[in-house]
């Protein structure tokens, strides 16, 4: 019975309320944007393909988020991680918040939390930690959009105006805008080429309990939990190749209806290749990562 | 003047003002909802949170999260647009889902961020993504916890697909810029790789700042040299 409170009826009701909030908010903004799009003369077919391609694009990352709900479920039950990962949360934040709080009592995250007060304290810590961007957005969103966002477009306009016979291949505004996007994307690409992830956890004894040192502090250990390697690079290359081929095919055969879907298709195809690589290639190849998983750093 | 009008006509200004007004209202609602979750848990369980534990834990978490939040807000807002920002920051998973979805939608519709066209397309895409994610997680939690068991997601036949979802996603996104900006993509990725050689565990938030600044500088330089 000790663990039942984590999957209590009220927890499911909170989860339902969160789901309703997220869906209603999203529908509200979609409806308003849709109306405005029509006023702007954006075609119905463009809007429909935005919806279907975004839905398709979301499926795979959403399933991987679902998988992370279960990572936290062992300690916190299924409902709290579900709620937390439906609003604001992501695995890294929630795991850190839960572990940091559990550290206070010297408990590791691989064990079920059975004390209601500890559970409530973790819920408070997760909420207060993750609420920061929501407090900032009302003050900063308008300012940043005006100062940074619109500046890009004004620049684009100026440079279009300044075009002469000796014109550059692009206009400056487009270059600035593309540079910012490419800057974001390349950080993720680089991490798949030679990055690694490290997690700080409690050092455990043979019974799975946290080790407390002579000063009374919990001993910490930093381990490599993920690393780029042969397969991550192969998947990256496959995804790029599929995307390029699909783009060329779409242009050559004028398949404008397929165009919004080429990115999700390239992504699914590359994920399929990941399954193939991991099941067909020998482990001596698939196991090559630049950093040893589990090693202390 | 005509140019200013094009990007901020009174009607456009009016629309963006409205989006900010709606966004602020929804954000206040989201904050209240979020804060009510631990309150309801405490009331239901009949306990108060451990004050001593929070006194020790919250300063650590707030230093970490709140600094990251500043970086995320500055980096993402100009890309997501107004409506996209208000939606994304409530539903989370921005870098691994909402941002790529928004970029993909604007790319496909051939509209630019921070124009009204970009604003509405990105908002629709991110809204759809938020709904689909919420439904998948809700249905998945019920199905996997009640009927199938979460270990199905760990089956060797499908696990690699989800282990490698990020390279699959960002590879395709990077390739979408190849046609016009391949020189810039190569420089940007190289900068990221070189930084990671010296600091392999650097978080993506920090790394992103470096690659954005470097790519902006490279883009500006290449433009001046008429390379792009």
Return the pLDDT at A61. 87
Same domain, A121 and A201: no
pLDDT per residue as tens digits for the range A72-96 = 887 888 899 989 888 877 766 787 7
Q: Are strands A196-202 and A220-227 parallel, antiparallel or unpaired?
A: antiparallel
d(CA A57, CA A65): 14
Q: Clarify whether residues A22 and A108 are in a common domain.
A: yes
Domain-located, residue A81: yes
pLDDT at res. A72: 81
Chain B residues in contact with A97 by the CB 8 A cut-off are 61, 65
- State how many domains chain A has: 2
Q: What is the pTM of this model?
A: 0.79
Measured in angstroms, the CA of A203 and the nearest CA of chain B are apart by 19
Chain B partners within 8 Å of A297 (Cβ) = 201
Chain A residues touching B141 at Cβ < 8 A: 66, 69, 78, 82
Confidence of residue B228 (pLDDT cuts 50, 70, 90): confident
Distance in Å from the first CA to the final CA of chain B: 29
pLDDT at B5: 42
**Same-domain pairing of A121 and A9:** yes
**A-interface mutation test, from B7, B62, B167, B174, most A Cβ less than 10 A away:** B167
Minimum distance, in Å, between the CA of residue A206 and any CA atom of chain B: 25
CB contact under 8 A, B92 and A89: yes
Q: Are residues A113 and A221 in the same domain?
A: no
Greatest mean pLDDT among A11-15, A182-186, B58-62 lies in A11-15
CA–CA separation, B2 and A287 (whole Å): 60
pLDDT of residue A58: 92
Instruction: Kindly report which listed range (A4-8, B8-12, B49-53) carries the lowest average pLDDT score.
Output: B8-12
Q: Is A104 inside a domain boundary? A: yes
How confident is the prediction for chain A on average, in pLDDT? 85
User: Which residues on B lie below 8 Å from A42 (Cβ)?
Assistant: 109, 117, 120-121
Residues of A in contact with B72 (CB under 8 A): 133
A6 and A99 co-located in one domain = yes
Residue A291 lies in a domain: yes
Residue A181 lies in a domain: no
In a domain, A136, yes or no: no
The last residue of a domain, from among A130, A150, A172:
A130
A141 within domain boundaries = no
Question: Are residues A113 and A202 both part of a single domain?
Answer: no
Within a domain: residue A178?
no
End-to-end CA distance of chain A: 40
Centre a 10 Å sphere on the Cβ of residue B48 and count the other Cβ atoms it contains: 11
- Compare all CA atoms of chain A with the CA of B175 and give the residue at the minimum distance: A240
**A1 and A122, same domain (yes or no):** yes
Which of A93, A115, A130 corresponds to the end of one domain? A130
Q: Is the pLDDT of residue A160 over 70?
A: no
Full domain range(s) for residue A62: 1-130
Single residue among A130, A154, A169 that ends a domain in this structure: A130
Comparing CB atoms, the residue among A33, A83, A153 nearest residue B124 is A33
CA distance B209 to chain A (A): 8
User: Is residue A173, in this structure, part of any structural domain at all?
Assistant: no
Q: What is the pLDDT of residue B226?
A: 86
Q: Check residues A129 and A49 and name the one with the higher pLDDT.
A: A49
pLDDT band at residue A177 using 50, 70 and 90 as cut-offs: confident
Report pLDDT for B10: 66
The secondary structure of residue B150, as a DSSP letter, is: G
Answer yes or no: do A121 and A199 share one domain.
Answer: no
User: Do B129 and A77 touch, CB atoms closer than 8 A?
Assistant: no
Best probe of the A interface among B33, B169, B221, by most A CBs < 10 A, is B169
A114 and A9 share a domain? yes
């Amino acid at each position: 019975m000790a663990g039942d409170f984590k999957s209590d009826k009220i927890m499911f009701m909170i989860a339902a309320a969160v789901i309703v909030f997220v869906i209603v908010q999203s529908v509200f903004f979609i409806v308003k944007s849709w109306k405005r799009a029509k006023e702007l003369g954006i075609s119905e077919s463009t809007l429909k393909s935005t919806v279907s391609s975004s839905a398709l694009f979301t499926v795979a990352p959403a399933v991987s988020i679902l998988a992370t709900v279960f990572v936290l479920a062992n300690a916190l039950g299924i409902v709290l991680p579900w709620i937390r990962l439906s609003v604001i949360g992501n695995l890294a934040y929630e795991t850190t918040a839960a572990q940091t709080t559990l550290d206070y009592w010297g408990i590791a995250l691989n064990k079920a939390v059975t004390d209601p007060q500890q559970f409530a304290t973790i819920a408070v810590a997760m909420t207060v930690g993750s609420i920061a961007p929501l407090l900032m957005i009302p003050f900063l969103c308008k300012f940043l959009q005006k100062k940074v966002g619109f500046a890009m477009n004004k620049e684009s306009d100026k440079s279009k105006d300044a075009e002469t016979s000796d014109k550059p291949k692009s206009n400056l505004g487009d270059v600035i805008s593309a540079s910012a996007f490419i800057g974001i994307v390349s950080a993720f690409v680089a991490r798949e080429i030679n990055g690694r992830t490290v997690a700080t956890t409690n050092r455990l004894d043979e019974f799975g309990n946290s080790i407390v040192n002579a000063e009374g502090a919990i001993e910490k250990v930093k381990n490599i939990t993920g690393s780029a390697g042969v397969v991550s690079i192969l998947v990256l290359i496959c995804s790029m190749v599929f995307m390029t081929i699909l783009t060329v095919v779409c242009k050559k055969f004028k398949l404008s209806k397929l165009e919004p879907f080429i990115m999700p298709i390239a992504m699914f195809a590359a994920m399929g290749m990941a399954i193939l690589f991991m099941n067909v290639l020998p482990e001596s190849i698939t196991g090559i990562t630049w950093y040893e998983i589990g090693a202390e750093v | 003047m005509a140019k200013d009008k094009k990007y901020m006509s009174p009607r456009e200004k009016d629309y963006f003002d409205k989006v900010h007004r709606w966004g602020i209202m929804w954000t206040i609602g989201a904050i209240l909802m979020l804060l009510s979750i631990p309150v309801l848990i405490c009331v239901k369980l009949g306990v108060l949170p451990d004050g001593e534990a929070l006194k020790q834990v919250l300063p650590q978490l707030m230093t970490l999260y709140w600094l990251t939040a500043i970086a995320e807000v500055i980096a993402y807002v100009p890309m997501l647009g107004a409506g996209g920002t208000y939606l994304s920051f409530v539903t989370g998973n921005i870098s691994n889902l909402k941002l790529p979805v928004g970029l993909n939608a604007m790319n496909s519709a051939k509209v630019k961020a921070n124009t009204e066209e970009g604003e509405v397309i990105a908002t629709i895409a991110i809204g759809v993504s938020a709904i689909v994610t919420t439904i998948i997680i809700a249905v998945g939690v019920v199905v996997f916890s009640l009927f199938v068991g979460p270990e199905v997601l760990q089956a060797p036949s499908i696990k690699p697909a989800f282990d490698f979802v990020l390279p699959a996603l960002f590879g395709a996104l990077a390739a979408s810029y190849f046609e016009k900006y391949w020189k810039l993509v190569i420089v940007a990725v190289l900068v990221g790789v070189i930084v990671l050689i010296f600091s392999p565990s650097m978080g993506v938030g920090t790394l992103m700042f470096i690659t954005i600044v470097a790519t902006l500088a490279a883009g500006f330089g290449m433009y001046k040299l008429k390379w792009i």
